[in-house]
Amino acid sequence: MSAGPLILGIETSCDETAASVVRGGREVLSNVVATQHDLHEEYAGVVPEIASRAHLERITPVLRDALKDAGIGYEDLDAVAVGHRPGLIGSLIVGVAAAKTLAWSLGKPFIGVDHVQAHLYAGLLGADEPAWPALGLVVSGGHTSLFLVDDPLTVRSLGRTIDDAIGEAYDKGATILGLGYPGGPKLDALAQTGDDRAHDFPVSNLGRERLDFSYSGLKTSLLYAVCGTPVGRGAEAHFERDASALSDKEKADFAASYQRAAVRAIMKNVGKAFDRHDVQTVLVGGGVSANSRLRAELTALGEDRNLDVRLPAMEYCLDNGAMIAGLAVRKFEQGQFDDLSLGASPRSEVA
C-alpha cells in the first residue's frame, strides 16, 4: 500500500451525499455516493429543501460505509476534509457540520476545499503526476469554466459561462425532448442513435478574444425547433406542440445535433486556450466529463496535439468525496488547515 496521509473527504454540495477515504492523494480506499435522483425526478430539477433533508438522513450511513469499505476506523484518519463551496447552501451546511464535528471530536485537522477545484483533481486519482501547468476544464450542472492550473492548489480563471452551464443545457434540453431527469446521460445515450447533422444549432460566439461560454441560446433554439414559437400573449402564451409529436428518430436527431453544438462550443474554446498557453496537460472534471462525445473529442485532440488529457474515471466524473479528499491531501502537505469558523458558501472563489 502506498504511503501518505489518510484523508476522509465529504461532499454534499448538491444532490449526492458522498464520502471517500483516500491515501496520499492518489489511492482511493473507498468511494460511497448516495444519489437523490429519485427524490427530484418529479420536479425535473433539484429542490434545495428536499436535498438538504435527504443529506441529513444519509450522511451518517454514508460516512459509516466509507470507513467500513476502506477497512479503517475513524482514529486511523489524518484529517477530515469537506467541499464547503460552491453549492446549495442548505446542502453544503450538512457536510460542513459533519466534517467539523468529526474533526473536532477526533482532534484531527479540518480542511475545506473548493468543489470546482476538486473536480479538476478527479483525473489525478489513481494516476501519476502530470506536467504542469495544465489547462483545466470543469463542465458540470453548475459550471462551465476554463482554467490555467499551475498546480492543484493554484488555478486561474480563463473563461466561464455567462448564463447556463453545459450540464444545465443538457438537463433542460432533455426536458424539452421529454427524456426525464437527470437528462444529461439520457440525452447523451439517445444522441448515439441520431444524425448529428440533421439540425444546425448555434454555437455561441462571444468574440475572438474571450474564452467564455453561453448556452441559453442553444437551449432556446431547441425549444423553438421542437415546440414551435409561442403563440398568444401574456398568461395566454403557449406552444403549439411538444416533444410527444416527434417520432423516436426525430428525437434522436434533435439530441445528436444538440449534443454536437454543445460539445463544439467547449472544443472551440479549449483549442483557443491551447493556442495561447504553453501547456501539455488538460485536466477535465464535472458531471459532463462523463459525456461520450466530449470524451471522444478531447481524446482525439490529445492524440492530434500530443497532449496528456486527464479524463476522470466514470465514478469520479459526478460529484464524489474522493476528489475532495484527493485535493485536501495537497493542502495537508502544505499545512493549510482550516479552523472551525469556516462556513459554507454558495460561491466558488476560483470559478
Cα 173-54-331 angle, rounded to 5 deg: 85
Residues at the site binding ligand KG4, with contacts judged by CB under 6 A: 14, 140-142, 167, 170-171, 182-185, 188, 286-288, 290-291, 318-319
Interface pick for Zn ion out of 17, 30, 117, 140 (rule CB under 5 A): 140
Determine contact, residues 158/166, Cβ cutoff 8 Å: no
Total Cβ atoms within 10 A of residue 129 = 11
Closer to Zn ion by CB, 4 or 48: give it.
Answer: 48
How many residues sit close enough to Zn ion to count as binding (CB under 5 A)? 2
Closer to Zn ion by CB, 188 or 253: give it.
Answer: 188
Minimum CB–partner distance for residue 194 and Zn ion (Å): 27
Minimum CB–partner distance for residue 244 and ligand KG4 (Å): 22
Binding partner of residue 291 among ligand KG4, Zn ion, none, CB cut-off 5 to 8 Å per kind: ligand KG4
Distance CA 9, CA 16 (A): 13
- List the interface residues with Zn ion, window 94-133 (CB under 5 A): none
Determine contact, residues 280/272, Cβ cutoff 8 Å: no
Closest CA to 197 of 261, 113, 106, 274: 261
Closer to Zn ion by CB, 168 or 319: give it.
Answer: 319
Closer to ligand KG4 by CB, 14 or 79: give it.
Answer: 14
Tell me, residue by residue from 304 to 343, as one string, x for binding to Zn ion by CB under 5 A and - for no binding. ---------------x------------------------
Distance CA 87, CA 336 (A): 22
Minimum CB–partner distance for residue 60 and ligand KG4 (Å): 22
Closer to ligand KG4 by CB, 25 or 287: give it.
Answer: 287
Contact status: 214 vs Zn ion (CB under 5 A): no
Q: What dihedral angle (degrees, nearest 10) is formed by the CA atoms of 122, 323, 41, 34?
A: 130
Minimum CB–partner distance for residue 37 and ligand KG4 (Å): 10
Minimum CB–partner distance for residue 120 and Zn ion (Å): 11
Stretch that binds Zn ion, among 135-143, 188-196, 207-215, 240-248 (CB under 5 A): 135-143
Place of cell 459525456: 291
Contact status: 291 vs Zn ion (CB under 5 A): no
Closer to Zn ion by CB, 140 or 257: give it.
Answer: 140
- The cell numbers describing 191, all together, are 444522441
Buried-exposed string 200-217: b where 16+ CB fall within 10 A, e elsewhere:
ebebbeeeeeebbbbbeb
| CB-based contacts of 296-303 (< 8 A; 24+ apart in sequence) | 297/263, 297/267, 298/267, 298/270, 301/267, 301/270, 301/271
Closer to ligand KG4 by CB, 170 or 332: give it.
Answer: 170
Distance CA 225, CA 115 (A): 35
Helix or strand or coil: residue 153? coil
Measured in Å, how far apart are the chain's first and last C-alpha atoms?
35
Minimum CB–partner distance for residue 141 and Zn ion (Å): 7
Closer to Zn ion by CB, 140 or 144: give it.
Answer: 140
Closer to ligand KG4 by CB, 24 or 185: give it.
Answer: 185
Minimum CB–partner distance for residue 297 and Zn ion (Å): 21
Minimum CB–partner distance for residue 158 and ligand KG4 (Å): 19
Quick one: how far is CA 4 from the chain centroid? 27
Minimum CB–partner distance for residue 2 and ligand KG4 (Å): 27
CA torsion sign for 255, 261, 267, 270 is negative
Residues that bind Zn ion (CB under 5 A): 140, 319
